[in-house]
Amino acid sequence: MSEAHASARGGRSRRLLFSAFTTVGVPNNVPGLWRHPTARHLDHTDLRQWIELAQLLEAGGFDMLFLADQAGVYDTYHGCADQALRDGIGVPLGDPEVLLSALAAVTDDLGLTFTSSTLQELPFNFARRISTLDHLSGGRVGWNIVTGYLDNAARNFGLPQQLPHDERYRQAEEYLDVVYRLWETSWEDGSLPRDARRGCYADPAKVHPIDFHGGFYDVEGPHLVEPSPQRTPVLFQAGSSSAGRRFAARHAEIVFLIARNPEGASVHINDVRQLAQANGRRAEDIRFIQGLWFVIGSTEEEARCRLAEIEEWVSFEGVLADRSAKLGIDLGAVDLDAPVDEALIRGVQGTVRTIRDGTPDRVQTFRDLAMHLLSAAVVGTPEQIADRLEDWAAAGVDGVNVMDVPTHWAFADFVEHVVPVLQQRGLMRREHVSGTLREKLGGAGPRLLDRHPARRLRAVTQSTRETAPLG
Amino acid sequence: MSEAHASARGGRSRRLLFSAFTTVGVPNNVPGLWRHPTARHLDHTDLRQWIELAQLLEAGGFDMLFLADQAGVYDTYHGCADQALRDGIGVPLGDPEVLLSALAAVTDDLGLTFTSSTLQELPFNFARRISTLDHLSGGRVGWNIVTGYLDNAARNFGLPQQLPHDERYRQAEEYLDVVYRLWETSWEDGSLPRDARRGCYADPAKVHPIDFHGGFYDVEGPHLVEPSPQRTPVLFQAGSSSAGRRFAARHAEIVFLIARNPEGASVHINDVRQLAQANGRRAEDIRFIQGLWFVIGSTEEEARCRLAEIEEWVSFEGVLADRSAKLGIDLGAVDLDAPVDEALIRGVQGTVRTIRDGTPDRVQTFRDLAMHLLSAAVVGTPEQIADRLEDWAAAGVDGVNVMDVPTHWAFADFVEHVVPVLQQRGLMRREHVSGTLREKLGGAGPRLLDRHPARRLRAVTQSTRETAPLG
């Protein structure tokens, strides 16, 4: 936790973005903590608890709530989902979109960001639902684009197993091509005169089919929903593999990082920014939000005691079940103390790379690897935590994804103890920022920048019905 | 409007169910009325207006809000969607599920029912979202099952055109088989001990994959969401074709009727009930809700004047665009004054049958047919309206789907003027009914009856992994 301690002190300080990261399930960034005493009355199916949480985050200065997701169970460990069920790891897991919509009704400013894979929903219906949610929330929607990595998820949608990694990204490219066309080109600006005298609610000359025919999807259109405040939701991406970074460099406005330390974050940030520039975008078009969790004490010693108490609740078998799914290797069937053999790992290779880049000397065995897949904890007094966040900021990080460790109510502690210090130092905003989520996160306006590939698409016109290739 | 006037007076009076019927778009049960003065400030993308409406309905004694839907545009008339766009008929049209979820957060009792076709969403994801919504709303979800009938909708989901009518129903049967297994068999009762001491959040011995392999879908499971209050949402159906009635007789708990008069409703009700009994269900297992719209005056003359005023705003071309899509025939390309040739009609044949059953003498030409596809208006004083509703009740109808004519705010007039009279006569409840939507609508408990086909499915067990055929 202290690797980057002194390095960047005195570096430029700047306001960070704050996201609260959880799932519509048992908090499981650290497996086993559902048994922690603070989790006793937690019920992810209870809307009142979610309303309370959302209003706490909004009042507490958070920019958004982020609900991660996956569309299948973790059944790699011992070849079944038993341990995942026992520890509530990724199952049960509710749908983030309907929860965020409910929270839109009881908040005014909070950004509403969720993960949806290009596997689980057909692009026409997805685009329509997201446009509706963007309307209803006044333009507060963000989408974390993932391609999925679980065989069980693939088998929930008719495939025998997940597509090969690069083919998943090809499918994701095509999926984006479809939804961009629906969001950006199907309805021109000014297509909705709502002119009662002329009898013209929508102007047919300005509403276009997309007539998309690809390798994975055929979609006629037009989009069923008129342009929402942001048209395209704010685009997030979290992959750290080579294909994932290339994808982020083309499409993402915000990248979620899980670097081990500020130096690791810098490497990742520079890599993606260079790729983005090669795609006709600019370095500043992409912002980076680092996942961290916090253990807060009135003294450093108290914080360290708290961490030790939390660690007592970790489920080691739960960790193995979680990591087995993410690595694509059954950690119940290998010698945990053997050296890591990367050839055995089918899963999230970018994650392994991130870990080994950040802490090469610490990850020798499978056991080390399993235990290091957790994102970094920041342990200390509020002032020490603020110091650490200045280090991350100095390394180029634009924001923090605060994780729900040990439970959702970690956000309440963060708001009560850390936020005032951050605000005093200018690391966190004090005032609501008006406008859409894109604007709240630092965008110049409600819409994607002109140089984003989605904005370079051309509408199908009645006369030509020709489509321009994406990008 | 007066066909059934005197027939059933003095018949048994009983409490009716009340549903408010609209869409996430321009109210379009009567095309053109978006230009009506009461529609001036209506904006279906404004969540605040929806919250106001939902709270009005809840306070006003309505049992549920029903949001109809379709996943494509009406492009049959003149072979394009131009007129549908000009009159806002079915386009723009937002997603009902996220709107209902938002309304769940600001209501306590109102039922939340929507249409979703078996075309637009993959069953695994659909089942998961609905379970989540049923949790968040405390068991208030209803699903109107449709198979879709628009070629454009089919082309939004990769098909060259809609499947033939009977094959659509076969697909719908399989879709239900999948979602029933996810909702009813994947998680046993008692599968969620949440026992921190034993380290058992969910009990793996009681959570099962569904291992479904069919002609349309392959779905492994398990369901990702634990059992919601109703497990399966209340099942609605609206089709009136022969295949539609058979489907309703097997699956529906509530059938939406669009009969021309109480006698027509009786015929339809008896038909479906007989079919249900042949399927091992009982006549009383299915309830029937008739679509009606209301024009209210303090005198009958005032009401008739109001109807005349409303009719002035009807868009005749809008009517033709709407009817062309529903009938599957371009009414812009036929002689409207020619006798109806049913051989030309590809579309909603059950609807044609309903119309001709109810008003055989009035439907001679295509023009008659177009104008009679609208559901029946009830015009008069609140007392006269209550009389008419007694006639419908006496004919066996269990409830009324109040339509948004001329706009959503028709519900406000209904609540203000008609509800007190209905309550006085015992035709409408005065008190909130506790429990799930299924219970509010008259069910014996939160779950489907044991004799419903979904309850006769057996879980896949780890030892056998065999699936029982549906029904």
- In angstroms, the Cα distances linking B120 to A122, A215, B68, B70, B162 are 8, 19, 14, 9, 12
- Which residue in A335, A338, A340 sits closest to A355, CA to CA? A340
Neighbours of A431 (CB within 10 A): 7
Choose which CATH entry (3.40.50.170, 3.20.20.30, 3.40.190.10, 3.90.226.10) describes domain A13-464.
Answer: 3.20.20.30
Tell me what pLDDT residue A356 has: 60
Q: Which amino acid is at A310?
A: I
Distance separating alpha carbons of residues B55 and B103, to the nearest angstrom: 9
Contact A55, B166 (CB under 8 A): no
- The overall average pLDDT reported for chain A is 90
Contact B425, B393 (CB under 8 A): no
The pTM for the full model equals 0.94
The domain limits of chain A are 13-464
Q: Which amino acid is at B264?
A: G
A317 or A2, greater pLDDT: A317
Tell me what pLDDT residue A9 has: 38
Tell me what pLDDT residue B346 has: 66
Neighbours of B150 (CB within 10 A): 24
Residue A113, strand partner residues:
A66, A142
- In angstroms, the Cα distances linking B437 to A43, B5, B65 are 22, 32, 11
Q: In this structure, what is the dihedral angle of CA atoms A102, A103, A105, A110, given to the nearest 10 degrees?
A: -150
| Cβ contact B207–A129 (<8 Å) | no
| Cβ contact A98–B133 (<8 Å) | yes
Neighbours of B312 (CB within 10 A): 10
Q: Round the CA-based radius of gyration of chain B to a whole number and report it.
A: 22
Distance separating alpha carbons of residues B252 and B176, to the nearest angstrom: 11
Q: Is B64 helix (H, G, I), strand (E, B) or coil?
A: strand
Residue B218, strand partner residues:
B213
Q: How far is B88 from chain A (nearest CA, A)?
A: 6
Residue of A nearest to B40 (CA): A196
At residue A6 the predicted structure's pLDDT band, cuts being 50, 70 and 90, is: very low
> How much is the ipTM here?
0.94
A380 or A458, greater pLDDT: A380
Half-sphere exposure of A22 (CA within 13 A, CB side): 25
> CB neighbours of B357 closer than 8 A, spacing ≥ 6?
B260, B264, B267
Can you say whether residue B328 is alpha, beta or left, with left for phi > 0 and alpha for psi between -120 and 50 degrees? left
- Which residue in A369, A300, A355 sits closest to A5, CA to CA? A300
Q: How far, in whole angstroms, is CA A166 from its chain's centroid?
A: 20
Residue of A nearest to B124 (CA): A156
The sign of the torsion formed by the CA atoms of B238, B239, B245, B246 equals negative
Residue A64, strand partner residues:
A19, A111
- Which residue in B269, B304, B268, B305 sits closest to B287, CA to CA? B269
Return the DSSP state at B88.
T
Tell me the percentage of chain A whose pLDDT exceeds 90. Answer: 76
Q: How far is B286 from chain A (nearest CA, A)?
A: 29
Q: How long, in residues, is chain A?
A: 471
Residue B112, strand partner residues:
B65, B141
DSSP letter for each residue of B411-455 = HHHIIIIIHHHHHHTTSS-SSPPPS-HHHHTT-SSSS--TTSGGG
- Cis amide leading into A222 (omega within 30): yes
- Which residue in B22, B93, B37, B81 sits closest to B317, CA to CA? B81
Distance separating alpha carbons of residues B263 and B268, to the nearest angstrom: 9
φ, ψ at B330 (rounded to 5°)? -80, 100
| Cβ contact A221–B121 (<8 Å) | no
The sign of the torsion formed by the CA atoms of A269, A272, A275, A280 equals negative
Chain B residues near residue A128 by CB distance under 8 angstroms: 71, 94-95
> CB neighbours of A32 closer than 8 A, spacing ≥ 6?
A87, A313, A314, A315, A316, A318, A319, B199
Chain B residues near residue A72 by CB distance under 8 angstroms: 224
Token pair of B132 as six digits: 């989540």
Residue B339, strand partner residues:
B365
Residue A116, strand partner residues:
A145
Residue of A nearest to B105 (CA): A102
Inter-chain Cβ pairs, chain A and chain B, closer than 8 A = 226
Chain B residues near residue A50 by CB distance under 8 angstroms: 136
Chain B residues near residue A116 by CB distance under 8 angstroms: none
At residue A149 the predicted structure's pLDDT band, cuts being 50, 70 and 90, is: confident
Among A71-75, A173-177, A261-265, the range scoring the smallest mean pLDDT is A261-265
Chain B residues near residue A196 by CB distance under 8 angstroms: 34-35, 40
Q: How long, in residues, is chain B?
A: 471
In this complex, the residue of B40, B95, B156 whose CB is nearest that of residue A221 is B156
Contact A110, A204 (CB under 8 A): no
Residue B288, strand partner residues:
B255
Distance separating alpha carbons of residues B50 and A132, to the nearest angstrom: 13
Residue of A nearest to B26 (CA): A201
Q: Is A112 helix (H, G, I), strand (E, B) or coil?
A: strand
DSSP letter for each residue of A354-401 = HHHHH-TTT--BHHHHHHHTSPPEEEE-HHHHHHHHHHHHHTT--EEE
Distance separating alpha carbons of residues B332 and B343, to the nearest angstrom: 17
Q: Which amino acid is at A221?
A: G
Neighbours of A6 (CB within 10 A): 9
DSSP letter for each residue of B323-350 = HHHHHTS-TTSS-TTSBP-GGG--S-HH
Work out the end-to-end distance of chain A between its first and last CA atoms, rounded to an integer number of angstroms. 41
| Cβ contact B157–A80 (<8 Å) | no
B350 or A193, greater pLDDT: A193
- In angstroms, the Cα distances linking B55 to A44, B58, B415 are 25, 5, 12
Tell me what pLDDT residue A240 has: 81
pLDDT at position A420 over 90: yes
φ, ψ at A384 (rounded to 5°)? -65, -40
Half-sphere exposure of A145 (CA within 13 A, CB side): 32
Q: What is the pLDDT along chain B (471 residues), one digit of tens a residue?
A: 333 333 333 444 489 999 999 999 998 889 999 999 888 778 999 999 999 999 999 999 999 999 999 999 999 999 999 999 999 999 999 999 999 999 999 999 999 999 999 999 999 999 999 999 999 999 999 999 999 889 999 999 999 998 988 899 999 999 999 999 999 999 999 999 999 999 999 999 999 999 999 999 999 999 999 999 999 999 999 988 888 899 999 999 999 998 889 999 999 999 999 999 999 999 999 999 999 999 999 999 999 999 999 999 999 999 999 999 988 899 999 999 988 877 777 665 566 665 565 565 667 888 887 877 666 789 999 999 999 999 999 999 999 999 999 998 899 999 999 999 999 999 999 988 889 999 999 999 999 999 999 999 987 764 444 444 443
Q: How far is B436 from chain A (nearest CA, A)?
A: 15
Per residue in A320-371, pLDDT (tens digit) is 999 999 888 999 999 999 988 777 776 655 666 655 665 656 678 888 878 7
Distance separating alpha carbons of residues B305 and B96, to the nearest angstrom: 34
Tell me what pLDDT residue A215 has: 96
- Which residue in A402, A351, A350, A315 sits closest to A89, CA to CA? A315
At residue A10 the predicted structure's pLDDT band, cuts being 50, 70 and 90, is: very low
Q: How far is B437 from chain A (nearest CA, A)?
A: 17
b/e A244-269 (16+ beta carbons within 10 angstroms → b):
bbbbbbbbbbbbbbbbbbbbbbbbbb
In this complex, the residue of B101, B221, B224 whose CB is nearest that of residue A98 is B101
| Cβ contact A137–B92 (<8 Å) | no
Query: For chain B, what is the largest distance between any 2 Cα atoms, rounded to a whole number of angstroms?
Result: 78
Distance separating alpha carbons of residues A56 and A63, to the nearest angstrom: 12
Return the DSSP state at A122.
-
Tell me what pLDDT residue B368 has: 82
Contact A236, A274 (CB under 8 A): no
Q: Which amino acid is at B31?
A: P
Per residue in A312-333, pLDDT (tens digit) is 999 999 999 999 998 889 999 9
Return the DSSP state at A4.
T
Residue of B nearest to A191 (CA): B85
Residue of B nearest to A160 (CA): B218
| Cβ contact A124–B152 (<8 Å) | no
Distance separating alpha carbons of residues A173 and A229, to the nearest angstrom: 24
